[in-house]
A and B are shown apart, each in its own frame.
Chain A
Amino acid sequence: NAGVTQTPKFQVLKTGQSMTLQCAQDMNHNSMYWYRQDPGMGLRLIYYSASEGTTDKGEVPNGYNVSRLNKREFSLRLESAAPSQTSVYFCASSEAGDQPTDTQYFGPGTRLTVL
């Protein structure tokens, strides 16, 4: 049981390049999330998927797109990377997502640098 896995662990991009961050969970969870972590700002929600087939914007969606490929996988795409997207990206999942007490389980993160 690997929990939440993310690839790649590290990535360096040039401004304007595109890339997709992959996330998968093996806990049969319904809800999945993408966050970014910046120093002194905690984690901020980019996009989430309450259930397979649905996606919605979070607090900071600009410059990103997502795909909920199936129940296990939730990818985050940067179409044209900018230096402001340099950050650590975390994927998370929760069993239901429709209860305020649901625990979110986090992946190990992807450290992205945009030059």
Chain B
Amino acid sequence: AQSVTQLGSHVSVSEGALVLLRCNYSSSVPPYLFWYVQYPNQGLQLLLKYTSAATLVKGINGFEAEFKKSETSFHLTKPSAHMSDAAEYFCAVSARMDSSYKLIFGSGTRLLVRP
């Protein structure tokens, strides 16, 4: 069965500091991985996705993630945090169900940005 694990339910950084949100996956087949962001009182929005075309994936708002098969990881980074990055971030893996696919989500990491 496929799964993702997000290390750290809360991460706090200072404005301008590096953001690193961790995601490790478990999959017996090549995984397709996603990062979604949820701003307060809103739905989820796609940040980026790994489709096997390139191991370094660039997303919206300056975020990027690197797929590392040897470490079974897909960590999300941003060089310089902005106050507007404060949100909850979810890592997800695509899993087959019958003739379609579903997303299996991690438990989420809430990013706090200190002024």
Interface residues contributed by chain A, number (CB under 8 Å): 28
Q: Which residues of B contact A92 (CB under 8 A)?
A: 44
Please, how many angstroms separate the alpha-carbon atoms of A92 and B45 in the complex?
Answer: 11
**Chain B binding site: helix, strand, loop or mixed by DSSP?**
strand
**Chain A binding site: helix, strand, loop or mixed by DSSP?**
loop
A-contacting residues, B28-49, CB 8 Å: 32, 34, 36, 41-46, 49
B32 touches A108 (CB 8 A): no
B99 touches A90 (CB 8 A): no
Point out the residue from B49, B96, B97, B107 that lies within 8 Å of A40, measured CB to CB: B107
A51-81 interface mask toward B, CB cutoff 8 Å, 1 = contact, 0 = none? 0000010100000000000000000000000
Q: From A30, which residue of chain B is reached at the shortest CB distance?
A: B100
Point out the residue from B44, B49, B51, B94 that lies within 8 Å of A90, measured CB to CB: B44
B106 touches A42 (CB 8 A): yes
* Known contacts A42-B107, A42-B108; A103 and B102 CB within 8 A of each other: no
* Known contacts A56-B97, A101-B94, A106-B45; A40 and B9 CB within 8 A of each other: yes
Q: Which residues of B contact A48 (CB under 8 A)?
A: 97, 100, 102
B102 touches A101 (CB 8 A): no
Point out the residue from A4, A33, A40, A41 that lies within 8 Å of B102, measured CB to CB: A33
A100 touches B42 (CB 8 A): no
CB distance from B14 to the nearest CB of A (A): 25
Given A40-B9, A48-B102, A104-B46, 6 more contacts at CB 8 Å? A40-B107, A56-B97, A103-B34, A106-B45, A108-B41, A108-B43
**A residues touching B (Cβ–Cβ < 8 Å)?**
4, 31, 33, 40-45, 48, 50, 56, 58, 90, 92, 97-109
**B residues touching A (Cβ–Cβ < 8 Å)?**
9, 32, 34, 36, 41-46, 49, 51, 90, 94, 96-103, 105-108
**Can you give 16 contacting A-B residue pairs, CB < 8 Å?**
A42-B90, A42-B105, A42-B106, A43-B44, A44-B105, A45-B102, A56-B98, A90-B43, A98-B99, A99-B101, A103-B34, A103-B49, A104-B46, A106-B36, A109-B41, A109-B42
